Structure 1
Amino acid sequence: MKKVLSSLLVMTLLLVGTKSFAQYQKGDKFLNAGIGLGAYYGGGVPIGASFEVGVTDEISVGAQVDFYTWGYNYVGYKWRYTFIPVAVRGSYHVNELLNLNNDKLDLYAGLALGYYISSYSDNSGYTGFYDNSYGNRVLFGLHIGGRYFFKPNIGAFAEVGYGVAPLKLGVTFKF
């Protein structure tokens, strides 16, 4: 049964038309700005932006930067972690593959590779391990998302993934 279903899926994908739709095409430029719900390192609410340019009718490349901070303040003692993830990213736009004929929708999946810049501050006067227990590190990200355009160049986006936040929501602009 699994082989039959797998064969049908492969045949369906091979028969998908190559018609080009207007959701995404080579040369398109997208700017996403939004917030993350949850964060993979520490706490806080990530805010950030990404920019991508279409290099083919299915692939876009670009960059992303986010910022989030969280801390503690109790009876005069304060500490704070700050994170600035910076990465390059690439996305594969799947509307053609899925034969979706919707000019307002752009579905995509992709990868990101970058660096987490993190810092720690407190008012204790001590130094040592807690100066920055998170440390700077490599960022490997994965995202699956979609953009829905209310107007030809303005819409909303949502992404689920790994890297900065499990869910990102925001506004998107197409140039």
Structure 2
Amino acid sequence: MKKLAVTLIIFISALIAGQVHAQAFQQGDKLLNLGLGLNSYYSGGVPFGASFEVGIDDDLSVGANVDYLSTSNYGYRFTALYFGGRGSYHFNRILNIKDEKFDLYAGAGLGYRSFSWADSYAGISIDAYGSGIYLGAHLGAKYYFSDTTGAFAELGAVGSTNARIGVGFKLK
């Protein structure tokens, strides 16, 4: 399943990619990331996540994120939903990275996570299974294949996973 997801993301990126004239991160950029977790903190499932950020200057972006995971095994179902705000510092200028296709960033997030668990054999359903506020952190890199499309990878506490890969877009 994971190999299929990675192959699909790479294939879609290659189809969308056009001429390479991308610029490094800058003020006003609207960034959308769609990705899959490479693992899960919980007992199975493939986490799906999305984030959207807007560049407030040439180094900082702020926005929101959402992460969803659902798994079902042996009569039980577990669902995790994370949503909140996030901010990132883009290191290209301070580290003097000249490659206009590459964006290196790190940041933090704060939000709410909601867990639910159900056991169909025992007839038990719990909606607040450890739900509450979460603090996350991420280190990421994005490589643009065109002005608007690239691939990204993030490590850290990024929802229900600690590693995510996917497709990133600059929206006009």
Separation in structure 2 between the aligned mates of residue 40 and residue 123 of structure 1, nearest angstrom: 23
Aligned to 1:11: none
Q: Which runs of 5+ in 2 are unaligned?
A: 1-21
SS in 2 for 1:151: coil
Separation in structure 1 between the aligned mates of residue 128 and residue 57 of structure 2, nearest angstrom: 42
Shift of 1:126: 4.3
Separation in structure 1 between the aligned mates of residue 23 and residue 128 of structure 2, nearest angstrom: 47
Please provide the CA RMSD for this pair.
1.8
Q: Could you tell me which amino acid in structure 2 is paired with residue 169 of structure 1?
A: I
Contact 2:40–2:162 (CA under 8 A) maintained in structure 1: yes
Larger RCO, structures 1/2 (Cα 8 Å, 6+ apart) = 2
Shift of 1:48: 1.4
Shift of 1:131: 2.8
Residues matched between the structures, number = 149
Aligned to 1:167: 163
Aligned to 1:83: 80
Shift of 1:71: 2.4
Separation in structure 1 between the aligned mates of residue 107 and residue 166 of structure 2, nearest angstrom: 18
Identity of aligned residues (%): 45
- Give TM-score, length-normalised by structure 2: 0.80
Aligned to 1:158: 153
Q: Which runs of 5+ in 1 are unaligned?
A: 1-20
Separation in structure 2 between the aligned mates of residue 42 and residue 50 of structure 1, nearest angstrom: 24
Q: Could you tell me which amino acid in structure 1 is paired with residue 25 of structure 2?
A: Y
Shift of 1:138: 1.4
- Output aligned runs, 1:2-13, within 5 Å: none
Q: Could you tell me which amino acid in structure 1 is paired with residue 91 of structure 2?
A: V
- Output aligned runs, 1:16-165, within 5 Å: 22-73=23-74, 78-127=75-124, 131=126, 134-164=129-159, 165=161
Contact 2:115–2:128 (CA under 8 A) maintained in structure 1: no
Shift of 1:37: 1.1
Separation in structure 2 between the aligned mates of residue 47 and residue 83 of structure 1, nearest angstrom: 11
